[in-house]
Amino acid sequence: MDKDLVFLQRNLEQIKYTQDEMEFWSARELMGLLGYQRWESFSEVIKKAMVASNLLDIKPKEHFRETTKMIVIGRGAKRLVDDYYLSRYACYIVAQNGDATKEPIAAAQAYFAVQTRRQEVGDLALVETARLEAREKLKETEEKIERVVYKRGIRLPVEFATFKDKHIQGLYGGLKTNDLKQIRSIPKKRALADFDSHVELKAKDLALAMTTHNIVGKNIQGKSLMEREVVDNSIATRNALLDRGIVPESLPPQEDIKKVKKRRRKVLPSVSQARLLE
């Protein structure tokens, strides 16, 4: 089995295509490696794999792309035949639906299971890192706007808390911070943003950045005028989200950012990521 796996891995890498950083394989070229001689038999396995993908709520068209291939059929003659471009995930599902009595199929099941899991872990790491970066950026934007408004009419912490809540109400259709915490079962003493999705974090950052820009650029003074400015920018950001079918208050709460940081610490971070995990 180990020798079969090594042989399969080497040959899979040789027939792999890469375009725009996406890996894929030709089903016609994969067929022989998996122990199939007839296209009719192998295409049936592919069709079973596509049905399995549908049952898993995974769109087959994103992983099984119908195409054609020119092959040589004898004496130099050529013929155009059906083919599929298969993603790594598609190859994994094909192997899972193949004839398990074929030794190459057993080796392919093991190989693609490992490789698919590696890709899933890598994709999750990218998503989590993006969310951590967005949370850190929002903190910086919040600190900046706090410095700005305290110089222009806001004096007390309770006034700044009200200013921030006006921002939340503008972005979430009138709901206050405590309303959202109750709806999302977030502890009262925790920051709402620690449970935000990536898109919410970016939306909040944009609304507050625009507010800071306008307060400074237009020399806005006074608590009421600054509150009006943050509300206007938050509503504008909300409308942009609604135009794209995103309703902020309907988004589910995400995993506690502290837990994400703790999990990411267990993976050796790069230099650029280390700051996010402090």
Cα-flanking dihedrals φ and ψ of residue 46, to 5°?
-60, -40
Are the C-beta atoms of 112 and 91 separated by less than 8 Å? yes
Tens digit of each residue's pLDDT (9 = 90 or more) over 168-185: 999 999 999 999 999 999
Band (pLDDT 50/70/90 cuts) for residue 57 is: confident
Rounded CA-CA distance 206/198 in Å is 12
pLDDT at residue number 114? 66
pLDDT at residue number 103? 76
Q: Is 147 helix (H, G, I), strand (E, B) or coil?
A: helix
Band (pLDDT 50/70/90 cuts) for residue 1 is: very low
**Closest to 81 measured CA to CA, from 40, 51, 30, 35:** 40
pLDDT at residue number 272? 42
pLDDT at residue number 181? 96
Work out the average pLDDT over 54-73. Answer: 85
pLDDT exceeds 60 at position 259: yes
For the chain, the structural domain boundaries read 2-99, 129-277
Tokens linked to 52: 């399995």
Helix segments in the chain, DSSP class H: 2-15, 27-33, 39-55, 88-96, 103-150, 157-171, 177-183, 198-217, 223-243, 257-265, 271-274
**Closest to 16 measured CA to CA, from 8, 81, 140:** 8
DSSP state of 256: P
Q: Is 220 helix (H, G, I), strand (E, B) or coil?
A: coil
Work out the average pLDDT over 108-136. Answer: 73
Work out the average pLDDT over 115-120. Answer: 64
Tens digit of each residue's pLDDT (9 = 90 or more) over 214-256: 999 999 999 999 999 999 999 999 999 999 999 999 999 999 9
Residues forming a β-bridge with 80: 70
What stretch of H or E contains 72?
Answer: strand 64-74
pLDDT exceeds 70 at position 269: no
For the entire predicted model, the pTM comes to: 0.57
Rounded CA-CA distance 202/194 in Å is 13
pLDDT exceeds 50 at position 146: yes
pLDDT at residue number 120? 60
pLDDT at residue number 117? 64
Rounded CA-CA distance 148/216 in Å is 8
pLDDT exceeds 60 at position 277: no
